[in-house]
Amino acid sequence: MSAPLRTALVGCGKIGRTHALALTRLPESQFVGCCDADAARSAAFAAEFGGTAHASVDDLLRSARPEALLIATPHPLHAAPAVAALEAGVHVLVEKPLAATVEDCDAMLDAADRGGATLGVVSQRRYYEPVVRMRRAIDAGKIGRPVLGLFLMYSWRDPAYYRSDPWRGRWATKDGAGEGGGVLVNQSPHQLDLLQWFLGEPEEVTGYWANLNHPTVEVEDSAVAALRFRGGGLGSILTSLSQDPGIYTKVHVHGSNGASVGVQTDTGASFVAGVSGIADPPLNDVWTIAGEQGELEAFRRQDAAAFAAVDGTTHYHELNIADFLRAVRDGAQPPVTGAEGRTVVAMFQAIYESNRTGRSVRLH
């Protein structure tokens, strides 16, 4: 077996713990250090997970000498540590979304080119068993050409959620550490990624956003959009945190031969990393492929059993992170590329722009 890669982490908050658990468990990883804006938090993190604590990204890169860096800071703060690491030739995996703006994504991609390093983004829902089954069916041509996609989320976040971190629910803080948006930036990137993974690159977006029932926060709790994909497919988005209690989150894909496949990725409100667990398994909720309609219940039983055997809050992150580290080791493309991460950011940024201008937005 190849030697493990020296790995480190920037951002020791809630989702940072999920990353650290993976980095300390995986045989592909030798966890060597961490960094956080709060020095006491990074010191406590290192005491728990190992490695050394550092006060700055530069010191982490220089002293711990990681080969791969995972970034788990608030979204608008992803670019700076990523650019520093990538320019130094250190491979970088970023927690979703890749950034809060396309401009930050482009800075990261340019740095990866200059440093000859790999840039990837976390999208662990691609590893859900029913999602993998959908992708395999699409790749096998079982629905013909994917021509229509749906992302539907009826979820909820209460006031305590927004109070749990000072950057939540704000476009930006004085130090630039807001979310850069709301439901589109924080809760929706996984399903936006699944849409573009299934249907290809989007070409044009028309959308609207609103804050329907969260008066104490600045950002949107709901958004709707229509998409046109370069391959000719169409897409629809309705994503919201304004249903109390949360109901479900789904992604459906309909094919040119009339067949449809779908997944309910989340039941109720989507989980909050480091705060809540995942009680219900992701399951295929639509499956009309000719000759396979009767298999839906068997799929659901298999996937429920598989999910019950793991911790859903960490297992799929581990699969994603392990694949990234193996790709780096083998000189291969990461499972979710920086370019794909940029596409997700371009999608939600286009919805903001379309709402502002009242016009459709073409993606570049």
CB 57 within 8 A of CB 71: no
Number of domains in the chain: 2
**Predicted TM-score of the model (pTM):** 0.96
Q: What is the CATH number of the domain that holds 163?
A: 3.30.360.10
Separation between Cα atoms, residue 274 and residue 17, nearest integer Å: 7
Is 305 in a helix, a strand, or coil? helix
Based on the fold, state whether residues 143 and 95 are members of the same structural domain.
no
| Chunked mean pLDDT (size 10), the chain, 364 residues | 92 94 97 95 96 96 98 93 98 97 97 98 98 98 98 97 91 72 97 98 98 97 98 96 97 98 95 78 98 95 97 96 98 98 98 98 91
Separation between Cα atoms, residue 216 and residue 159, nearest integer Å: 8
Residue 54: inside a domain? yes
Nearest CA-CA partner of 96 in 198, 232, 192, 227: 192
pLDDT at 279: 84
Based on the fold, state whether residues 351 and 211 are members of the same structural domain.
yes
Q: Give Dmax over CA atoms of the chain in angstroms.
A: 59
Separation between Cα atoms, residue 347 and residue 360, nearest integer Å: 12
Based on the fold, state whether residues 160 and 79 are members of the same structural domain.
no
Which of 82, 101, 121 is the last residue before a domain boundary? 121
Dump the DSSP string for 162-202: HHSSTTTT-S--TTS-S-SSSTTTTTSHHHHHHHHHHH--E
Based on the fold, state whether residues 227 and 347 are members of the same structural domain.
yes
Based on the fold, state whether residues 192 and 260 are members of the same structural domain.
yes
Residue 327: inside a domain? no
Q: Count of residues for the chain?
A: 364
Residue 330: inside a domain? no
pLDDT at 175: 59
pLDDT at 178: 79
pLDDT at 177: 67
Based on the fold, state whether residues 17 and 163 are members of the same structural domain.
no
Structural domain for 33, as ranges:
5-121
Query: 236: Cβ–Cβ under 8 A, 6 or more apart, which residues?
Result: 148, 149, 150, 151, 225, 226, 227
Residue 52: inside a domain? yes
Based on the fold, state whether residues 248 and 298 are members of the same structural domain.
yes
Which of 70, 101, 121 is the last residue before a domain boundary? 121
Residue 166: inside a domain? yes
Vertex 346: Cα angle to 341 and 352 (nearest 5)? 135
Packing angle, helices 129-139 and 189-199, rounded to 10: 20
pLDDT at 320: 98
Which of 121, 151, 168 is the last residue before a domain boundary? 121
The amino acid present at 101, given as its one-letter code, is T
